[in-house]
Chains A and B, each alone.
Chain A
Amino acid sequence: MSNTSSALRIVWIYPDLLSTYGDQGNVLILKRRAELRGIPTEIVHVHSSDAVPEQGDIYLLGGGEDRPQILAADRLRADGGLARAAARGACVFAVCAGYQIIGESYGDDEANPLPGVGIIDIRSGRGQTRAVGEIVADVDPTLGVGRITGFENHQGRTAIGPQARPLSTTVKGIGNDDRTEGAYQGQVLGTYLHGPALPRNPQLADLLLRWRVGALNPLPPAWGERLHEERLAAALR
């Protein structure tokens, strides 16, 4: 960690623009799962009028409606802080609209391609139908996360370029294209599992923490693990 304090620095990007679906949950769960292991955290909220600090450990981007999505992408591109942080090797976790805009390009509501922040090799467009509902996917086994579950609500379709890899294979739901869900490239990871993706998948939260601090002490199973099991069973019933 290169920030001056020893705390794990979690940076929440633009909660005023990109926080439509309970995205705060991802911040709260990372903080909690770190602190339960004795890892101190520092939470930084970056508003749309603020500069993005470059010395964070984990950057979080949430979901948003079409118009706020475009505003957020334009502001992030003009600011440049997120791209510099990613180039330094920081972890970025982006959800739904946030996932689309960290890629090379994404589509507006009339399917015109718009430039993204360009920190992961994906291109998103607009599908024919809206993907709404519970989604289940098996994460790339090399990441040691297992099966994930969430709720998707988007019209985007995402193609993954050669620099990035699909995060997971879809078991139920649409995700990127009906076959894969999400993408990662180094420590930049995006997903269509919107809102509280990390609360519903504690092992995914732990992957991000592991990337930053190394091996983690196991935590006794609690409500997060129970919710994960319950939602998996409900989605596959």
Chain B
Amino acid sequence: MSELPLRAQLASVLGRSAASLSRATGRGDGSVIGGRVALKVEPDLLAKLSQGRRLALVSATNGKTTTTRLIAQALREFGDVATNEYGANMPTGHITALSDNKSAVNGVLEVDEKYLPQVLKATNPSFVVLMNLSRDQMDRASEINLLAKKWRTALAQSNTHVIANADDPLVAWAGLGAPNATWVSAGQRWKEDSWCCPECGGHLKRDVDPYWQCPECGLARPETTWSVDNETDTLVAPGGQQIKLRLNLPGDANRANAAIAAATVAGYGIHPERTVERLREITSVAGRYTSVVTMGVEVRLLLAKNPAGWLESFAVLDPPRVPVILAVNAQIPDGKDTSWLWDVDYRVLRGRRVFIMGERRTDLALRLETDEVPFEVADRVDEVLAKLKAERPDITKVDVIANYTAFQQIRTAYGRVQ
């Protein structure tokens, strides 16, 4: 990447200086400020930094950070990879990621859903990776039907290759706009945002999961070449090759992420067996799924930012004898509106010891009361642990499910474990 024009080089250097300053003064990790400074100097910087690389853009409502990390891990097979692995997923973060790694030919960028059309245009990526779309922080996020339409239009104007989850009707409809596609059957647990045909609004026929079809206009799930069998923990690659996953990340959602990652890096020429080996090396992603041992208890942290995410978290909870702490805030990154709590079905928590905390625990209390799930109110994780230890000295595990800032607060309290 040494042939960058002088102005772009300068922009890039200034950006990195600002980022270092940000880190040195403890203000942040520098991803955003660095990119912001660089963009002032050279507005076309993202396009210039992308030239000559083989990039994959990853977008979805849930799982983008994890899937980006999985793809990067597999691509390291070929050496350095330019990637925004700390989740700075807007153009400033992309510029920082690419500036930080000028020599890497391969790159994978997590992209905020709203920015995908713009970043697609600027970076001309080899692959666009799309997993799911569902309701999320609606006081500030775009309406997802509108988002899918914008994706579809942007993809139609590109010459990229889409790797997409065929089981999510909105995602599939968007991906069908692209000139080339690889379809993955990655599953869809949360279906409440896709009962209607994205093309005509008809009520989709979804009798046999994962198939779907519109009885009114005929839009249907595309044929897939990759799939996951959650029952047997198996990835099925094109031609029917079966590979045991045995990931160290929990749950069906991560099996889906792994399948999507394997299909993507196959486009770079990596064999799925080798990919899966590399994916097993990952045990946590930016603190998600991390366990911290405190007061002799293993506390596992699960991030859930929206109804679909809560559903996935419930699916990976330990057996019912393991207590769970639910923590909900409503700061700007969480969305200021807690209405989504009513879209989650909490009845699966009946029979389990439940504690609630966070700035909006009263909202959660009413929600649980309505679902007839008994709970106890708490202020802090260590207070819960002390109480549990006093009652059951042999207790070994507690799960925590938290939304974004609640998760970050808990993570900070136990050190920024990766």
Contact = CB atoms under 8 A, between A and B. Distances in A.
A222 B342 contact: no
Nearest to A21: B339
B101 interface: no
What is the interface of chain A mostly: helix, strand, loop, or mixed?
Answer: mixed
Interface residues of B, number: 30
Contacts of B203: 16, 47-49
B196 A196 contact: no
A65 B342 contact: no
B196 A28 contact: no
9 contacts: A22-B341, A24-B342, A28-B370, A48-B201, A48-B203, A67-B145, A67-B146, A153-B139, A224-B366
B405 to A, nearest CB: 16
B195 A153 contact: no
Interface in B318-352: 336-343
A31 to B, nearest CB: 9
Interface string A142-171: 000000000101000000000000000000
B365 interface: yes
A227 interface: yes
Interface in B136-185: 138-140, 143-146
Interface residues of A, number: 36
Contacts of A21: 135, 138, 337, 339-340
Contacts of B367: 25, 199
Contacts of A22: 339-343
Contacts of A32: 370
B342 A23 contact: yes
Contacts of A29: 370
Contacts of A223: 362, 365-366, 369
Interface in A64-107: 65-68, 71
A177 interface: no
B138 to A, nearest CB: 6
B192 interface: yes
Interface string B362-384: 11011101110000000000000
Given A17-B195, A21-B138, A226-B366, 4 more contacts: A21-B339, A24-B343, A196-B339, A199-B366
B251 interface: no
B362 A16 contact: no
Given A68-B201, A153-B337, A132 B370 contact: no
Interface string A6-17: 000000000111
A199 B370 contact: yes
A50 B192 CA distance: 17
